[in-house]
Amino acid sequence: MATEVSLKGNIRFKIRFNTAHGDTDFYWRVIIDDTEYLARSVNCNVATFSDASFDKNANAVKYHMAGVCSDFSIDEEGRAVFK
């Protein structure tokens, strides 16, 4: 079971594949500000673009899909939705 999340506002997000998913099925990292959310699947109903940024924790440049939405949620099944 996933932790449910619901955010509204001018949300800038990044989506990366979770290479550390191990034996879980949380394949995606969603990064909003400095907070990371794990998701099983993602559904983007907004425009996205490729981007890169320096990750302080990894001490490396990381590549991701990014975008802006006004509504972000993760349901109890781990499905992330961007509107």
Instruction: Write a three-state SS string for the chain.
Output: CCCCEEEEEEEEEEEEECCCCCCCCCCEEEEECCEEEEECEEEECCCEEEEEEEECCCCEEEEEEEEEEEEEEECCCCEEEEC
pLDDT tens digits, residue range 22-34? 999 999 999 999 8
Q: How many domains does the chain have?
A: 1
pLDDT for 67 equals 98
| pLDDT for residue 44 is more than 80 | yes
Residue range of the domain that includes 51: 5-82
What is the rounded CA–CA span in Å between residue 48 and residue 54? 19
| pLDDT for residue 42 is more than 80 | yes
The percentage of residues in the chain with a pLDDT greater than 70, rounded to a whole number, is 100
pLDDT for 2 equals 81
